[in-house]
């Protein structure tokens, strides 16, 4: 790791002021991703500002059935909080599918949103990577692209977002509350992460001097029939090759509403609201789920090594929908 200065911030507004004064400064939460990347030399900073002690460490109930998860709540504390377990069990399952118990005890929910890709070329300084250094090229495109994107990739980057938590947040239409020099703003989860386009260095739409304060979840009708499916190379403690966060509302044997996001397939959790409409008013049957998954993957494009993820993705979707409907 390169040497750096360290300070513990005592308030979010002070943290934002400090960040504005040093263009090489970074916020640090749990540090599980940042420290790792700094050891690898992928990330560097000369000033780390600890934002774990600025009063963002609670899961709260808000009026109207909403809940608010403070940005520095750890992944474990969020997953096992009574409010999340009871009202958003899909989010609990997704969080617990990620990382290891030790890492979940350290990693924060704000930091989870900001996780960088696990593309091996991003981590390997000897290779070209536009996400590390824009303009250097992408060795993944013609290289080993087994874990890479099926949707929304560009000529500059084919990386995927690695989070499990964020896939469930996408299904649940979470809102990301941030604070910046110009005050607070709210970013819908769908608009938080971005596609790589011609600037893969930017994973999301947050400015560098904006701080994530909290994740808010609106009340959801999807919490009885839900399922998080994750397919990975080993049975635990690995990033998703494919994941699916599914929630549906069933009444009188028919699907009233459905929300489906997939992980491991794009630079952001991937949803297809047009395909989702195909489910409305239908009976929860395998045939319906198969039609849906065909529609969802219609625009998927394999890169060679990852072609298997298209069929794997379709089957994972059908399985997740089936599990959700039977719950």
Partner 1 sequence: MQKNKIEASGGRGSNQTFKSVPVTIQVNGRKFTCDVEPWTTLLDLLREKFELTGTKKGCDHGQCGACTVLIDGKRVNSCLTLAVMKDGAEVTTIEGLEREGILHPIQKAFIDQDAFQCGYCTPGQICSAVGLLSEGHAKTDDEIREEMSGNLCRCGAYPNILAAVKQVLQEKKVSP
Q: Taking the complex as a whole, how short is the minimal distance between the CB of residue 101 and partner 1, in angstroms?
A: 5
User: What is the total count of residues that contact partner 1 (CB under 8 A)?
Assistant: 32
Q: Six-digit token pair at 245?
A: 């966060």
CA 260, CA 319: separation in Å to the nearest integer? 13
In Å, how far are 122, 128, 130 from 134, measured between CA atoms? 11, 9, 4
CA 266, CA 190: separation in Å to the nearest integer? 13
CA 134, CA 15: separation in Å to the nearest integer? 28
CA 56, CA 14: separation in Å to the nearest integer? 14
* Neighbouring-strand partners of residue 59: 69
| Between 38 and 215, CB nearer to partner 1 | 38
Q: Taking the complex as a whole, how short is the minimal distance between the CB of residue 70 and partner 1, in angstroms?
A: 17
- Residue 35 binds to partner 1 (criterion: CB under 8 A): yes
- Residue 236 binds to partner 1 (criterion: CB under 8 A): yes
Residue of the chain from 237, 277, 283, 311 that contacts partner 1 (CB under 8 A)? 237
Residue of the chain from 10, 13, 17, 36 that contacts partner 1 (CB under 8 A)? 36
Gyration radius of the chain over CA positions? 19
Residue of the chain from 83, 103, 288, 310 that contacts partner 1 (CB under 8 A)? 103
Ranges within 39-58 binding partner 1 (CB under 8 A): 39-40, 44, 46, 48, 50, 52
Q: Is 190 exposed, middle or buried (0-12, 13-18, 19+ CB in 10 A)?
A: middle
CA 168, CA 320: separation in Å to the nearest integer? 13
Ranges within 63-102 binding partner 1 (CB under 8 A): 76, 80, 99-102
Contact in structure between 150 and 310 (CB atoms under 8 Å): yes
Q: Taking the complex as a whole, how short is the minimal distance between the CB of residue 244 and partner 1, in angstroms?
A: 19
Q: Six-digit token pair at 19?
A: 């960040």
| Between 94 and 279, CB nearer to partner 1 | 94
- DSSP tag of 59: E
Q: Does an H or E element contain 34, and which? A: helix 34-40
- Residue 231 binds to partner 1 (criterion: CB under 8 A): no
- Residue 199 binds to partner 1 (criterion: CB under 8 A): no
Residue of the chain from 42, 60, 83, 106 that contacts partner 1 (CB under 8 A)? 106
Ranges within 169-198 binding partner 1 (CB under 8 A): none
| Between 72 and 171, CB nearer to partner 1 | 72
Contact in structure between 118 and 128 (CB atoms under 8 Å): no
Residue 11: how many other CB atoms lie within 10 Å: 12
Using CB under 8 A as the criterion, what x/- string covers residues 2-31 for binding partner 1?
xxxxx-x---------------x---x--x
Q: Taking the complex as a whole, how short is the minimal distance between the CB of residue 36 and partner 1, in angstroms?
A: 5
Interface residue list for partner 1 (CB under 8 A): 1-6, 8, 24, 28, 31-32, 35-36, 38-40, 44, 46, 48, 50, 52, 76, 80, 99-103, 105-106, 236-237
């Amino acid at each position: 790791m390169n040497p750096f200065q360290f300070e513990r911030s005592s308030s979010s507004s002070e943290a934002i002021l400090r960040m504005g004064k040093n263009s090489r400064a970074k916020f640090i939460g749990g540090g599980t991703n940042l420290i790792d990347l700094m050891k690898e030399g992928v990330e560097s900073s000369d000033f780390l500002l600890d934002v774990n002690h600025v009063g963002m460490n609670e899961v709260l109930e808000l009026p109207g059935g909403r809940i608010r998860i403070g940005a520095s709540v750890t992944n474990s504390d969020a997953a096992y909080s009574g409010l999340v377990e009871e009202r958003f069990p899909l989010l609990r399952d997704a969080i617990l599918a990620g990382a290891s118990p030790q890492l979940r005890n350290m990693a924060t929910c704000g930091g989870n949103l900001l996780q960088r890709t696990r593309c091996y070329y991003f981590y390997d300084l000897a290779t070209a990577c536009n996400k590390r250094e824009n303009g250097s090229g992408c060795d993944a495109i013609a290289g080993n692209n087994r874990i890479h994107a099926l949707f929304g990739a560009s000529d500059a980057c084919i990386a995927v977002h690695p989070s499990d938590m964020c896939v469930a947040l996408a299904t649940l239409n979470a809102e990301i509350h941030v604070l910046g020099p110009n005050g607070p703003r709210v970013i819908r989860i769908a608009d938080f992460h971005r596609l790589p386009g011609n600037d893969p260095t930017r994973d999301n739409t947050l400015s560098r001097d904006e701080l994530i304060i909290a994740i808010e979840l609106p009340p959801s009708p999807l919490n009885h029939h839900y399922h998080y499916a994750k397919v990975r190379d080993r049975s635990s403690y690995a990033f998703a090759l494919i994941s699916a966060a599914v929630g549906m509302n069933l009444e009188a044997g028919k699907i009233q509403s459905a929300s489906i996001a997939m992980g491991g397939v794009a630079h952001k959790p991937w949803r297809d609201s047009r395909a989702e409409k195909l489910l409305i008013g239908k009976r929860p049957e395998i045939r319906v789920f198969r039609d849906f998954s065909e529609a969802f993957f219609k625009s998927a494009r394999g890169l060679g090594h990852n072609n298997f993820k298209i069929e794997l993705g379709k089957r994972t979707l059908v399985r997740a929908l089936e599990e959700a409907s039977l719950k």
